[in-house]
Every structure is written in structure tokens, then in C-alpha cells.
Structure 1
Amino acid sequence: MVRRAAHPPSRILYGVIELQHLTKRYGGTLAVDDLSFKVEPGHVTGFLGPNGSGKSTTMRLILGLDAPTSGQALINGRRYSSFGKPMREVGALLDAGAVHGGRSAYNHLLCLARTNDIGPMRVAEVLEQVGLAGVARKRVAGFSLGMKQRLGIASALLGDPGVLMFDEPVNGLDPDGVRWIRDLMRSLAAEGRTVLLSSHLMSEMALTAERIVVVGRGKLITDATVAQLTARYPTLEDAYMALTSDSVQFGAAR
């Protein structure tokens, strides 16, 4: 079971991610094209699509890292930029390598915590939770990719948020680490949180997610349960390959 935060909650635990006609252009490239769907609490939603499908751009738009050309992305009915202490509302791992290598794991998390009025006790809790307590004082520059992934997950969990987003969180993890991620995602959802998970590992997605959103060329292809998809196709991988066969492209936005 995931440990709860030491600080008292300032909001309801659960939330909803809602995209309303979300569109993003980069010059002449249409990266996200009139995309609308909801991610609801209580289960893991898998976010799938070929390279160039707009998955990473969509996640950046949800987190306010890019501005939409039109439409909007809402979390609990609000834009990410409206949250005064966003880490208590939304936790995200988009790039495990985006860490100052000269800092220790503990100091990296402590700096993030201070920006959102989160105490040092919570830093120690999440380091223990992700299995990094023994290397908390070591510099991140010496971490393997798998250790950086765990640190990124700790960052996402730091504010004990009701909404969580993970982009390829199993990169660099050994089989035990992959199983740990699977169990963690499912336990977070079982607590009533909203979990959006992007991954290319279909076998893991089949074991972890209950609902699947597939995009291609920036458009929504399908929004269905894993059970619905595997009732129509032999496996989730077969469903994915059939649904995206016309959407593979090269050189476009991620």
C-alpha cells in the first residue's frame, strides 16, 4: 500500500483529466488535432500511440509546459497553471533525466518540496517508498537510468496528489523494477487516484491498465477498456497494431 502524506490533505483525493478539443500546431505541423477524452479516477488509463502520434505533446499541454493553439486541458475542472501548489494536485514523470546531477536525491526532492510547502518528512517517505533511501545522499549523476526513473516517480508522488501522469516509467528498470512499477500503478489507482500511463510495452499495459486511449497523428483513434479491445482482437498488441496501422509517421512531434 502506498503511504499517505504527513501533511493534511487540502483537496479531495481523486480528480479527472479532461481534454476538450485540444489542438496544438508547431508552425506547419499539427501535433495534436481536436483531441477530446477524459481520464477518470479508480483505474490506470493507458495512453498509446506510434512515434509522432502526439502523446508527449498532449502530456505537456496538460501540464502547462506548452500552450494549446485552441481547446483546453483541465484537471479537476481547472488549468494546471491555476494551482497555487500544483504538486499537491498533480504528479508527473515525463523525463527522468531532467535532474541536476550535482545534487543528491534527497536535496533534489527537498528543493521541489519547498516550492510547494511540503515538509522534509515527506521527502524521506517517498525515498523509502521507491527504494532509494539507501542512496538518498548520493549524487544523482552517479545514478543508473533505472534509479533516475525511481527518483522521478518519487518526485511525482511527493505532494501525495490525486492525479498522476507517467511517460514510459519502466525505461531502464530490470524485471523486478518493472513488476514494482506495475504494482505501484495499480495500487495508486485502487486508492482512488487518476493515473495516466504512457508506455510502449504492450505486455505490461495489458497487465496494468484497465482502460486504453489510443491516438494517431494527433487524433483520437479509440477510448475503450482492455476487456473491450481483447474481446475484438486476440491480444492488446494485436488491437494496437490494427488500430494504428494507418497512423505511423516519421519526423513529427512525439
Structure 2
Amino acid sequence: MVRCAGRGPRRILDAVIELRRLTKRYGGALAVDDLSFTVEPGHVTGFLGPNGAGKSTSMRLVLGLDAPTSGVALVNGRRYASLRRPMREVGALLDAGAVHGGRSAYNHLLCLARTNGIGPLRVAEVLEQVGLSGVARKRVGTFSLGMKQRLGIAAALLGDPGVLMFDEPVNGLDPDGVRWIRDLMRTLAHEGRTVLLSSHLMSEMALTADRIVVIGRGRLIAEATVQELTARYPSLEDAYMALTAGSVQYGASR
């Protein structure tokens, strides 16, 4: 069955990312509202919601980039800030543009690697994995958006973490790149990793994710498998539109 908000407590087993009654206020604005769900290993979990739903804020709270007003976000049972070498446990891509444009791709990754006790061999490995070996010594400021996305994915993979979080990773990618992302997400989940993927592309989410979390106005709307949703609705897009019909906030940011 589709698990919807208000249907009682969930059984928590082997949770890797866990949000417990997470709330975040920015002044008078409520961005995340008593939000609870878990993301488990071995699945690509799609994270869906309209603009302003609180997806990006929730991911920032998991990663310790913002402090919750109340509640807690945990990775492997601990707060992100308590992880000694966080890149070895969690990899994330939230903003591909948040890179020093004057550095080369290699030096950008090497700086990150050194902060977490990761050697230069691993830097070369992830550059090869994302298809950037040929431009490793070029300045990031000369990269296209798609190349920056690949670099951000390389950074997320750098510590070979068990938990991965991606916010709109296919932005700027051509069709070959989109298919590569899809295959990568599936491979990571097949390896037993926990993958949380936020995207507005319903058609791509239907091909990539096997579980879905839907939020609106900062609150949980539904959790389900893609199969469960498409058994109830003609498509994942139809399911999403029906579930979020009362949650659209025009002019809101994520």
C-alpha cells in the first residue's frame, strides 16, 4: 500500500538517512514542518515536491548546512556534524556551481580529498568514472553546466560513501549524460548504497527510482514504491500531480 502521512508510525529498520520530526523556520516562514521519513539502502529513493516544498532545505539539514529549529536528521544513526570523516560516509551534490572557478577539476577534488584523508589515486579514479579525465587540469570556470554536474558527482563519489544525495543532478546534461546518471544511480543502489535523488523530471524519475517520497509545504504527503503509485494512477506524473494538487506555492523557492 502507499504509505501516506497520518497513517501511524513506520517501522524503522536499518535506516541510513532518517528525519525525525524535522522542522525548520526562517523567520516567519516555515520551510520544513514536522517531517519524518527514512531512506534505506539498496534503493534509489526519489524525493519529490513542488517548488517551495522543502526538498533542498531538508537535504541541507541532513548535511548540517543549516540547523533545524526542532527535530533531528541522522546519517547512520548520527548527526552529520559528528562524523569524523564525513565524505567517507556521505556524498552529496546540491549545487554544481558552488566551485572555485580558478581551480582545475583535479585540484578541486584533491583539496576535498585531503580534508578527509583520501589519496590522489582516488581523485584520478573518480575523474575517470565521470568522464572528466581529459579535462582534469582545466579550470572549472571554463566548464559547461553539464561538466560541472559531472564534477559535483565526482566529489560526491570521492570517499566511496554508503550514502549519496543528489539534488537535480541531470541539469545541463545532454541525453547521453542523462542516461549515464540513470545507470549510475541504479548501479550505486545495486551495490547496497542508499541513494536519495531529488528531481522535477517525472519521466526520468520513473525510469530511475524504485521508491518515492513526496512532500508539500514542508510536510510528508506520501511514501510508496513507483510500482505502487503507477498501479493507482496512469503514470508517476499523474500520481505526483494528484498528490501535490493542494501543495503548489507559486513564486516560492525550494
What corresponds to 2:209 in structure 1? 209
Q: Which amino acid aligns with 1:137?
A: R
Distance 2:15 2:34 in 1: 22
Distance 1:134 1:204 in 2: 28
- Distance in 2 (CA, whole Å) between partners of 1:25 and 1:251 is 18
Per-residue CA shift, 1:217-244, capped at 9, x if unaligned? 0000001000000000000000000000
**Pair 1:123-2:123 in alignment:** yes
Q: How high is the sequence identity, in percent, across the aligned residues?
A: 85
Q: Where does the alignment leave 5 or more consecutive residues of structure 2 unmatched?
A: 1-13
Q: How does 1:207-246 map to 2 (within 5 A)?
A: 207-246=207-246
CA distance in 1 between counterparts of 2:213 and 2:43 reads: 13
Distance in 2 between the 1:118 and 1:28 partners? 42
Amino acid at match of 1:182: R
- Alpha-carbon deviation of 1:211? 0.3
- Displacement of 1:54 in angstroms is 0.4
Change in CA separation of 1:51 and 1:84 when aligned onto 2, cut-off 3 Å: same
In 2, distance between residues paired with 1:112 and 1:61? 21
**Counterpart check, 1:45 vs 2:50:** no
Name the counterpart of 1:173.
173
> Is the 2:16–2:75 Cα contact (8 Å) retained in structure 1?
yes
TM-align CA RMSD: 0.9
Return 5+ residue gaps in structure 1 as ranges: 1-13
| Whole-Å separation in 2 of the counterparts to 1:247 and 1:28 | 18
Preserved contact between residue 15 and residue 38 of structure 2 (Cα < 8 Å): no
How far 1:252 sits from its partner (Å)? 3.9
Deviation at 1:250, TM superposition (A): 2.9
Q: 1:136 & 1:253 partners in 2: Cα distance?
A: 34
Query: Equivalent residue for 2:4?
Result: none
Q: What is the alpha-carbon distance in structure 2 between the residues aligned to residue 51 and residue 39 of structure 1?
A: 21
The structural deviation recorded for 1:65 is 0.3
Contact 1:31/1:253 (8 A) holds in 2: no
Residue number in structure 2 paired with 1:64: 64
Deviations 1:77-121 (A, max 9, x none): 000000010000000000000000000000000000000000000
TM-score (norm 1): 0.94
State the aligned residue count: 241
Distance between the aligned counterparts of 1:124 and 1:70, measured in 2?
A: 41
Counterparts in 2 of 1:80-229, with a 5 A limit? 80-229=80-229
Deviations 1:55-94 (A, max 9, x none): 0000000000000000000000000000010000000000
Per the alignment, in what secondary structure is the counterpart of residue 91 of structure 1? strand
Q: Secondary structure at the match of 2:159?
A: coil
Deviation at 1:253, TM superposition (A): 4.9
Distance in 2, matches of 1:253 and 1:102, equals 29
Q: Which residue of 2 aligns with 1:8?
A: none
**Contact 1:15–1:163 (CA<8 Å) still a contact in 2?**
no
CA drift at 1:15: 6.3
* Counterpart contact for 1:39–1:194, Cα < 8 Å: yes
1:234 aligns to what SS in structure 2?
A: coil
Say if 2:55 is the partner of 1:55.
yes
How far apart, CA to CA, are the structure 1 residues paired with 2:37 and 2:116? Answer: 29
Secondary structure at 1:187's aligned position in 2? helix
Change (3 A) 1:97 1:204: same
For residue 96 of structure 1, give the secondary structure of its aligned residue in structure 2: coil
CA contact (8 A) 2:126 2:158 kept: yes
Residue 140 of structure 2 aligns with an amino acid whose one-letter code is V
> How many angstroms apart in 2 are the aligned matches of 1:132 and 1:192?
26
Give the ranges of 4+ consecutive aligned residues of structure 1 lying more than 6 Å apart after TM superposition.
none
Secondary structure (helix, strand or coil) at the match of 2:169 reads coil
